[in-house]
Amino acid sequence: DVKVTQSSRYLVKRTGEKVFLECVQDMDHENMFWYRQDPGLGLRLIYFSYDVKMKEKGDIPEGYSVSREKKERFSLILESASTNQTSMYLCASSPRKRSISLHFGNGTRLTVT
């Protein structure tokens, strides 16, 4: 079974802090994704990566950056956290040839105060 592990279940940060959300997958998947999930808005893609050191912007990249130095690890960075970034963040991975089959972590609930 694919396992996607997100480092924290809950995080509380202050406005202006730099925040790191970490994600690790153990199935050698090429693709990795960061989504945020908000009530009524569903899942929205922030960034994705299809290879080490490669990244592509999703639909809502503003205020975020990512890092993928190793194949199994994909980090989401909030450069200066703001209250409108309070959300559930979900990391996912998928194999290159079956990219629609996303395997999600259990999410990090981030609260910015």
Partner 1 sequence: QKEVEQDPGPLSVPEGAIVSLNCTYSNSAFQYFMWYRQYSRKGPELLMYTYSSGNKEDGRFTAQVDKSSKYISLFIRDSQPSDSATYLCAMSGKDSSYKLIFGSGTRLLVRP
Binding site for partner 1 (CB under 8 A): 4, 31, 33, 35, 39-45, 48, 50, 58, 90, 92, 94, 99-107
Q: Which is nearer to partner 1, 18 or 53 (CB)?
A: 53
Min dist. Cβ of residue 2 to partner 1 (A): 10
Min dist. Cβ of residue 105 to partner 1 (A): 5
Q: What is the 3-state secondary structure (H, E, C) of the chain?
A: CCCEEECCCEEEECCCCCEEEEEEECCCCCEEEEEEEECCCEEEEEEEECCCCCCEECCCCCCEEEEEEECCEEEEEECCCCHHHCEEEEEEEECHHHCCCCEECCCEEEEEC
